[in-house]
Structure 1
Amino acid sequence: MADSRTAVRNGFTLVEMLVALFVFGLISAAGVTLLRSTADSQIQLRDRLGERATLSRLSNLIEADLAQAVPRPARLEGGSTRPAFETGDGRLFTFSRIGVAPDAVTTQPSLARIAYHLDGSRLIRSAASHADGSRSGSDAVLIEGLRQATVRLREPNGGWRNDWTAVDADTLPRALEILLTTQDGRNYRMLYLVGAGNDQVKSEDEEAASGQAI
């Protein structure tokens, strides 16, 4: 009889088993939650790094384009001209750029006409390998997922304006600021100098020369 009672005492009661299973369930749930949180964080980090890389490539391209902007109006087929730098007409900004033609098969420099515009949620760069005439340019999607894109332009006297309608068709803005707003509400502000002749004002516009997204 004593041995039988001792065997019963060495076992687990139903309550003890339920408590053990409950604790094990809590530990398992905490582990799954932690793993899921880690995975979500890695996905978000990967997406952010990818977005930063895209913005960095975009910034470098705009900086390279604007650094080679030239104060040379474009001649149209009918004999009229377009200013060297202009805004409006459904585009963020359009300008003449010296350098190797975007679609050229040689490395000979030429005068191109570059335009940036927002098409829905996509920022588009149009590049015509000839600034003069009516030849249309090739389009490239630079970034997607945008809600808004706006530009400001710095005048030679230091003031800022939202449009560019220069009295002199050869006049270039001193600097350009572009503000991109993503569909989830994040803002990226980038600043650039315009034209090689503006290198002398880098000390005054050091942040504009960097073209960093902030």
Structure 2
Amino acid sequence: MTRNGFTLVELMVALIIFALLSAAGAMLLSGSARVQEGVKDKLSDTAALQRTSTIIAADFAQALPRPHRDAAGRTLPALSAAGGTIDLVRAGWDNEDNAARPSIQRVEYRVVDGALERVAWPLVDGAAPLPAQRLLGPVAGLRLRFRGPDGAWRDRWDPVQPQQLPRAIEMTIDAKQPLRMVFLVGSGRG
């Protein structure tokens, strides 16, 4: 007796093997999609941290020993920090469109609604600020330390003269994972 086809048992075994291979392939594809999404999120977080540290480093490196005035006309020191905010005047503000404004700029870093923001003013003394730029989130707080002219680190910046700047600033951003960065101050001006 010659056989011209497969038996029912052989077909069932082949279907079971095919089903197992299909299920394994689907799980592998699903797992790789999850990993890809996780990597994408991590890369996005890393890019945001890199952008933030670059912006802050540029502002601190270009810091000027120039006191300025707030909207009420009160004189503020060249660099002031209180309650997790830091305010300073920086040089090097590009004026590509030849707007009627100076090349120096007042900037402030603060935490608002769980996000680290950078606020800039179009004029150094007494102007209303431009819209805040959201740099990083979620952020619970901002801690600052200052390296004085004597080389000692301190938690508060109380300069003897209003135009005095610290040598360096240590900024700790309280986020998912605390981020500690140290920046030189005023190193970008000749």
Q: With structure 2 as the length reference, what TM-score do the two structures score?
A: 0.81
Cross-structure match for 1:72 = 66
Tell me if the contact between 2:84 and 2:142 (Cα under 8 Å) persists in the aligned partners.
Answer: no
Cross-structure match for 1:52 = 46
From the superposition, tell whether residues 77 and 121 of structure 1 become closer, same or farther in structure 2 (CA, over 3 Å).
closer
Give the superposed CA RMSD.
Answer: 3.1
From the superposition, tell whether residues 102 and 64 of structure 1 become closer, same or farther in structure 2 (CA, over 3 Å).
farther
The equivalent position to 2:137 in structure 1, one of 133, 141, 144, is: 144
Note the 1:112-151 alignment, pairs <5 A: 112-133=105-126, 135-138=127-130, 139-151=132-144
From the superposition, tell whether residues 196 and 107 of structure 1 become closer, same or farther in structure 2 (CA, over 3 Å).
farther
- Unaligned 5+ segments in structure 1 are 200-214
41-50 or 104-113, which deviates more: 104-113
* 1-structure distance, mates of 2:128, 2:57: 23
Tell me if the contact between 2:62 and 2:186 (Cα under 8 Å) persists in the aligned partners.
Answer: yes
Cross-structure match for 1:171 = 164
- Unaligned 5+ segments in structure 2 are none
From the superposition, tell whether residues 102 and 158 of structure 1 become closer, same or farther in structure 2 (CA, over 3 Å).
farther
Counterpart of 2:35, as a letter, is: S
Instruction: Count how many residue pairs are aligned between Structure 1 and Structure 2.
Output: 189
* 2-structure distance, mates of 1:131, 1:22: 75
Tell me if the contact between 1:117 and 1:123 (Cα under 8 Å) persists in the aligned partners.
Answer: yes
Deviations 1:134-187 (A, max 9, x none): x221121122322333222222222222332223222211111222343xx223
The structure whose Rg is larger is 1
* 2-structure distance, mates of 1:77, 1:189: 32
1:196 positional shift: 3.0
161-170 or 107-116, which deviates more: 107-116
Over 6 Å off, 4+ runs: 101-104
Deviations 1:66-111 (A, max 9, x none): 11111111135666411111111x5421112233378984386443
Of Structure 1 and Structure 2, the greater helix share is in 1
The equivalent position to 1:96 in structure 2, one of 77, 84, 89, is: 89
* 1-structure distance, mates of 2:121, 2:137: 22
